[in-house]
Amino acid sequence: MTAPTVFVLSGPNLNRLGTRQPEIYGSDTLADVHEAVGREAERLGLTADCRQTNSEGELIDWLHEAVDAGADVVLNPGAFTHYSYAVRDACAIVTTSGRSLVEVHLSNPAAREEFRHTSVVSGVATGTVAGFGLQSYLLALRALV
């Protein structure tokens, strides 16, 4: 049997991990995150399809693709978390199709600026993991199995 695929999607500015505000996001690069995710997924009997985009439309297209593929999703929506109803609606398409979607954040947005306290995604996500750096992604994978 082939391992079920999980889409692991990261939104805007996350391609700058490692050098972007390391005091908040840590020193791991996105390549480090994807490598650790790939290893953890394999350990859990999953295949991780890891992608990052700075484009809202592309992220939405990938969420539709996950639905069509019948894949669960781990999503770090970056700043889209706080205002993108279009990303929220696409996440709702995933969860109402019967798939799981775990919202992840490296930092803990609830402990940061006021505008980060709102997530328009959380209300349609299966669950949220925030504040554990790279580990947030790995915990999200574990939550799926």
Question: By the criterion CB under 6 A, which residues form the site for ligand DQA?
Answer: 13, 76, 78-79, 81, 105-107, 109, 116
Cβ at position 2, least distance to ligand DQA in Å: 30
Residue 105 a catalytic site member: yes
Cβ at position 77, least distance to ligand DQA in Å: 6
For ligand DQA, the closer of residues 52 and 78 by Cβ is 78
Cβ at position 90, least distance to ligand DQA in Å: 16
Close Cβ partners of 43 (under 8 Å, ≥ 6 residues apart): none
For ligand DQA, the closer of residues 76 and 84 by Cβ is 76
For ligand DQA, the closer of residues 78 and 90 by Cβ is 78
Residue 137 a catalytic site member: no
For ligand DQA, the closer of residues 48 and 130 by Cβ is 130
Cβ at position 21, least distance to ligand DQA in Å: 9
Which is the catalytic residue, given 34, 83, 85, 105?
105
State the DSSP string of the chain. Answer: -PPPEEEEEE-TTGGGTTTS-HHHH-S--HHHHHHHHHHHHHHTT-EEEEEE-S-HHHHHHHHHHHHHHT-EEEEE-GGGGGT-HHHHHHHHHHHHTT--EEEEESS-GGGS-GGGG--SSGGGSSEEEESSTHHHHHHHHHHH-
Task: Please give the positions annotated as active site.
Answer: 25, 105
